[in-house]
Chains A and B, each alone.
Chain A
């Protein structure tokens, strides 16, 4: 029996979350995301026109399948993030928020200090906060304590397609976290996503690998299958790799004599 993912009381049947950037057209984005089965799609506030009625990106996302997860990409500190979040909530009519504070525009690495500050404030303001963060187990606990709904540690540098380079720290986060863990950033192949799920991640977020592929719809389906396979394997209790044979017990067999 497959377990469902629940974040802030909302049930997700798909553990594949998706981004909406980098696609060659909004139409193709829509097709790929529908095919992915994804139920939570993140949208950069900076890309949508919240003053306009018929925003092209939002139009293509208006399906019952999708819940929007506005993100604050572009802000450099907690103050800007909180301001942007409030506008996003009003304009997109959701209190869900992917909190992204990356003052470094080159590698888009999250600022742990500003992220924690903003998360604390935004939770108080009634937001359901999913922070993008380093694979830092202590930061994860601190964010959990201020009331975030899930944590989104990075697998590797965003957009790098390098897969899971933070494995040791992700394992600790997954072990210790009381809120869902969504591995975000760097997953470049379905096998990377499957590996994250096998480790016990509750979900993954994928964008570049699908959007930039030669065939985004097919790649979306491949990720969907990989996430499902990885999760099934995790729930079925993966056999642990062993470095030794267990055929006999020369040291303890005397106990059975």
Chain B
């Protein structure tokens, strides 16, 4: 289990070793044919900032070699905002007094119709953590319900047990995204004070359970804005490195969501909660390139949290999949378009507009890269 490796690391030592990297370390990392975790530290270090253009060009070339001139499209489908957890950065947090909603069959199919009209064939199902209403049975049923309409189904829900994942995989689930949020074990408790989610170790070992269950793809990541992004992203890379060697039949993707403003339902008038600028655009570019240069095969995904301008330019930097037209509220596509979103979308362009933007940059838009028959 990854925990055994993780527990041997000191966060402070990792931080100091990243900050100690020099320009020479960065250049050596760039010149190597294969990069180590130490090289990754150099690539995310402040010392790499002057080498950003060189990193970007390398990342661009490596990405095209592996993935070709293609970008994959996916869309989230929020099924429920019911949640028993308190997460200090999330609008669906248990203590945020908002209207709760879990989609019925009929509502799910209405949402699906809109998503299909947009052109999507890969869908990401999202819920909060509420085992009474949106437990494994609900998810299993939802997958059975939407299976005829999509080639690839992913989920981003609460961590489950291995046997529960096996049930969902048997129904045709392909990919599971489960972000650690932060690898800062002590502060994890501060960000997640209540609910099942407050169990750091259970979450940390989720990718291991997924690998044992035989999932096709696991999505890793941390929320950028909670803790020092450099240290958290180093641990993401360490986790990836471990998982690739341990669960070698599984594919991996990484996301790097920067926290977005959320709306609070508690205040008399609606109020917004913002997060300090933990990471600049320049640093996000550095991180994307560093992930790619460190690992040529990992998929890198970018959501509508980022701005139009940033996403336009990110296409060539190393990203391999992108969402568009996303709604982060259950029912957001057709049933209740006005309800409260999990976070504010930054890039509001339609999938068609995004597809055109991608094509104009000389990339093919890939809507389908899986087939149900491959896992039957």
Q: Is A236 an interface residue (CB 8 A)?
A: no
Q: Decide yes or no: A104 and B249 within 8 Å by CB, A24-B364, A47-B368, A159-B65 being known contacts.
A: yes
User: Do B373 and A45 have beta carbons less than 8 Å apart?
Assistant: yes
Report the number of A-B residue pairs with Cβ-Cβ less than 8 Å: 78
Q: Is A80 an interface residue (CB 8 A)?
A: yes
User: Do B375 and A212 have beta carbons less than 8 Å apart?
Assistant: no
User: Do B69 and A211 have beta carbons less than 8 Å apart?
Assistant: yes
Please indicate the chain B residues that have their CB under 8 angstroms from the CB of A50 in the complex: 371
User: Do A23 and B68 have beta carbons less than 8 Å apart?
Assistant: yes
Chain B proximity mask over A210-223: 1 for CB below 8 Å, otherwise 0: 01100000000000
Q: Is A139 an interface residue (CB 8 A)?
A: no
Query: Quick one: which of B351-376 are within 8 Å of A by CB?
Result: 359, 362-364, 366, 368-371, 373-376
Query: Quick one: which of B212-269 are within 8 Å of A by CB?
Result: 217, 244, 248-251
Q: Decide yes or no: A105 and B374 within 8 Å by CB, A22-B68, A25-B364, A212-B68 being known contacts.
A: no
Alpha-carbon gap, A72 to B192, bound state (A): 43
Closest Cβ–Cβ distance, residue A118 to chain B (whole Å): 13
Contact of A24 among B69, B244, B371 (CB under 8 A): B69
Closest residue to B373 on the A side, CB-wise?
A: A87
Chain B proximity mask over A33-52: 1 for CB below 8 Å, otherwise 0: 00000000000011111100
Please indicate the chain B residues that have their CB under 8 angstroms from the CB of A212 in the complex: 64-65, 68-69
Closest residue to B251 on the A side, CB-wise?
A: A105
Chain A proximity mask over B69-85: 1 for CB below 8 Å, otherwise 0: 11000000000000000
Please indicate the chain B residues that have their CB under 8 angstroms from the CB of A103 in the complex: 248-249
Please indicate the chain B residues that have their CB under 8 angstroms from the CB of A76 in the complex: 249
Residue among B68, B121, B366 having the largest count of chain A Cβ atoms under 10 Å: B68
Residue among B66, B68, B248, B371 having the largest count of chain A Cβ atoms under 10 Å: B371
Q: Is B67 an interface residue (CB 8 A)?
A: yes
Alpha-carbon gap, A127 to B369, bound state (A): 24
Closest Cβ–Cβ distance, residue B2 to chain A (whole Å): 18
Q: Is A191 an interface residue (CB 8 A)?
A: no
Which label, helix, strand, loop or mixed, suits the secondary structure of the A interface?
A: loop
Alpha-carbon gap, A87 to B70, bound state (A): 26
Contact of B70 among A22, A159, A160 (CB under 8 A): A22
Please indicate the chain B residues that have their CB under 8 angstroms from the CB of A225 in the complex: none
Q: Is B166 an interface residue (CB 8 A)?
A: no
Q: Is A106 an interface residue (CB 8 A)?
A: yes
Please indicate the chain A residues that have their CB under 8 angstroms from the CB of B244 in the complex: 106
Please indicate the chain B residues that have their CB under 8 angstroms from the CB of A160 in the complex: 65
Closest Cβ–Cβ distance, residue B176 to chain A (whole Å): 15
Alpha-carbon gap, A92 to B297, bound state (A): 30
Please indicate the chain B residues that have their CB under 8 angstroms from the CB of A45 in the complex: 371, 373-374
Please indicate the chain A residues that have their CB under 8 angstroms from the CB of B366 in the complex: 47
Q: Is A94 an interface residue (CB 8 A)?
A: no
Q: Decide yes or no: A74 and B370 within 8 Å by CB, A24-B363, A24-B364, A105-B249 being known contacts.
A: yes
Q: Is A26 an interface residue (CB 8 A)?
A: yes
Contact of A161 among B65, B67, B363, B374 (CB under 8 A): B65
Closest residue to A24 on the B side, CB-wise?
A: B69
Closest residue to A81 on the B side, CB-wise?
A: B374
User: Do A22 and B67 have beta carbons less than 8 Å apart?
Assistant: yes
Alpha-carbon gap, A104 to B366, bound state (A): 22
A-B contact pairs, 6 of them (CB 8 A): A23-B69, A46-B370, A47-B369, A80-B374, A159-B66, A211-B69
Apart from A74-B371, A103-B248, A106-B297, 12 more pairs, CB < 8 Å: A21-B68, A23-B364, A46-B368, A46-B369, A46-B371, A48-B368, A49-B121, A49-B368, A74-B370, A87-B373, A106-B251, A212-B64
